[in-house]
Structure 1
Amino acid sequence: MTAAASNTFGSTRVVAGLGGIATGALCYGMVLIAWWVGSLLLPPIVLPSPAAVGAAIDELVRGNRFLADVGLTFMRTIMGVATSAAAALAVIFLARYVGWFRRFYLDALYPLSRALPTVSVGLFGLAWFGLGSPAVAFVVFITVLPVYLTNLWEAQKVADASVLEMGRAISRKQYRLVSKVLLPLLVPPLFSATKFAFSVGFKLSLVGEILAASDGMGYSLLHAMQEYKTSHVLAWIVILIGMVSALDWAVFDRLERVILRRWAFDD
């Protein structure tokens, strides 16, 4: 690629990036205007104004429990997602290489994991682990497990006989086939499943904390609901949206460019 073409391509990407920022700002502005108009038409207990929610966010951030609650919710989400990813990898490898376990996985484990309702899982977690982080992490673990199982199982199907035969041209050792062929095939779906699992996991942590915790963002949100502080309820929702968006932008977008560079096109 010539220097002129490279400069043109770079300029195009900058213009596209600025256009995306402008479009995003316009969409958020329209949402805020609609929200403000709705708050004029409805009582504050139903829909508080953006200014009232902003004041509630400021009050929460200045509070003594804010960092502790956010940290607990973040930790519980990481615990649930990480254990779910590790368990899914173990299950997928067992199902691929152990015949009887493959039948058990396809006929029983996979359908069961998809059918479990979140509220019931939360109640079981409360009964088994009591109030606290293990019960909340258990809710996240069970609920995001099907995401990993689906993505990883479908991805490993790509490693058919012809792909493995090409791998055997490099080495006949099974562990090298796994590390050089199968694992690279699983990296992109594992990353995409993790990205989705974190966005869902934060919401699941709120549900788990409402059902089975006495601290965290979900418990604080429940406390605000019980006191009919709608502005604080919306404040916690806005904070959660900001956390997920910041994590997606600051962590996953950068990891995607670094980790998946070998397996995906750089756009």
Structure 2
Amino acid sequence: MVRARTALAVLGPLAALAMWWWAAQNSSPLTVPQPLDVARRTIDLLFTAESVHTWTSMVRILAAVVLALLIGSGLVFLARLVPVTESLVTKALLPFLNSVPALGWAILGVIWFGVGNSAVIVVVTLILIPFCMVNMWEGMRNLDAGLQEMARSFTRSRVKMLFRIQVPLLMPYVLAAVRLSFSVGWKVALIAEFFGARSGLGLVMNRARQAFDTPTVFATIVVVLVIVTVVERFVFDPMSQMFARRSGGGAA
């Protein structure tokens, strides 16, 4: 079974690459570019002077993920520590943030903050906050009731219970929120940069669209795919396994 899964994981992408090559041979370069041309542009966006756009997008996304996690977690903790705010947070604020489309925030970001880093970071943060809130809220709901009851026998302080019991137990959910936010953040960031940035992969894609440079459009997609895959494999997977070992459960 393990060998079959490994073989499928290898043969699947190879088959997709072969189909791409075949489609490129039978299509206009403006429609389906050659894989080799896309590979060259991908290398440019990752390792040459043009990589500044890629890493600018990365910094913006990391900043937005941190802000979204802090704000989303803060709102959830507020709802738990001050029960009177629970309906406001979960039934008013969360549905509002969850329903506004990314394109709407992107346009408003440009109107409010102009073209630059602030607009992109604010837009991405606003889109990611609901993802963090939902993960943290589910984590709060699934905390070990027996462990919390034992903690209450030692202290009645909600603050102490929050930071000494609940926060450590919530770490797998924090990782899940960060993991989801990082991948979604790339999708949102490119939209925001498309409309309101002087640098970043979204700007690269917009310029490529205007110049009918299909290889560069494909390359920006491949760059995002490579970065997300590498971070998943070498950052999030080891962290998930670490939390799973500590908790004695499954991976986050």
TM value normalised by structure 2: 0.91
Give, in whole Å, the separation in 2 of the partners of 1:193 and 1:20. Answer: 27
Inter-CA distance 107–31: structure 2 relative to 1 (3 Å threshold): same
In the alignment, which of 23, 30, 46 is matched to residue 31 of structure 2? 46
What are the equivalent positions in structure 2 for 1:1-267 lying under 5 Å apart? 16=2, 20-61=5-46, 63-66=48-51, 68-159=52-143, 162-265=146-249
Q: Could you tell me how far 1:152 is from its partner in structure 2?
A: 1.0
User: How many equivalent residue pairs?
Assistant: 251
- RMSD (CA atoms): 2.1
Q: Tell me, in whole angstroms, the C-alpha distance in 1 between the residues paired with 2:48 and 2:90.
A: 49
Cα distance per residue 1:6-37 (max 9 Å; x no partner): xxxxxxxxx93x65443221011010011111
For 2:67, give the aligned amino acid: T
Greater CA deviation, 213-222 or 48-57? 48-57
Deviates more, 1:196-205 or 1:257-266: 257-266
Instruction: Report SS of the residue matched to 1:252.
Output: helix
Larger Rg: 1
Q: Output the TM-score relative to the length of structure 1.
A: 0.86
Provide structure 1 residue ranges, at least 5 long, that are not aligned to the other structure.
1-14
Give unmatched runs, 5+ long, in structure 2: none
CA gap 1:154/1:103 in 2 versus in 1, 3 angstroms: same
